[in-house]
């Protein structure tokens, strides 16, 4: 019963409704690839709240970079446990979405990135006296 409903939902005819056909369609999706596809398609910048939704190891690596303020491509590659080409592809998307930018400290041998998000907090100021009186 559930197989027929699933087959109908996926667009198979009743003759195609075999477990082998369903298994061929149900392939695992890499969350990082899904995120990169979404980031390439969107036009707006990445907000600080967006980083929380990133899959691991990208989330912890970006959190590390934001806290530090800058990071090298080699360090990003090492922390994400990926090859340099794949890491560079991901970083180019993050640069395009204004999460990172290429630092002036970059050399021919190593590219350094700085974050546009800051881990530091700004001091809170007290509202001017009489503010609540004006609102009433």
The pLDDT assigned to 49 comes to 74
> At residue 76, does pLDDT exceed 90?
yes
CATH architecture under which domain 42-115 falls = Orthogonal Bundle (1.10)
The pLDDT assigned to 8 comes to 67
Range with the poorest average pLDDT among 23-27, 54-58, 65-69, 99-103: 23-27
> At residue 95, does pLDDT exceed 60?
yes
> At residue 99, does pLDDT exceed 70?
yes
Rounded CA-CA distance 19/9 in Å is: 14
Extents of the domains making up the chain: 1-29, 42-115
The mean per-residue pLDDT over the stretch 67-83 comes to 91
Range with the poorest average pLDDT among 33-47, 55-69, 103-117: 33-47
pTM of the model: 0.63
> At residue 58, does pLDDT exceed 80?
yes
């Amino acid at each position: 019963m559930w197989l027929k409903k699933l087959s109908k939902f996926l667009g198979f005819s009743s003759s195609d409704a075999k477990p082998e056909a369903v298994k061929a369609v149900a392939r695992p999706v890499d969350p990082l690839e899904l995120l990169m596809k979404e980031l390439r398609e969107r036009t707006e910048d990445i907000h600080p709240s967006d980083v929380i939704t990133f899959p691991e190891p990208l989330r912890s690596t970006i959190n590390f970079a934001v806290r530090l303020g800058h990071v090298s491509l080699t360090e990003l590659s090492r922390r994400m446990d990926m090859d340099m080409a794949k890491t560079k592809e991901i970083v180019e998307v993050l640069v395009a979405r204004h999460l990172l930018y290429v630092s002036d400290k970059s050399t021919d041998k190593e590219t350094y990135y700085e974050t546009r998000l800051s881990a530091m907090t700004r001091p809170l100021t007290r509202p001017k006296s009489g503010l609540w009186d004006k609102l009433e």
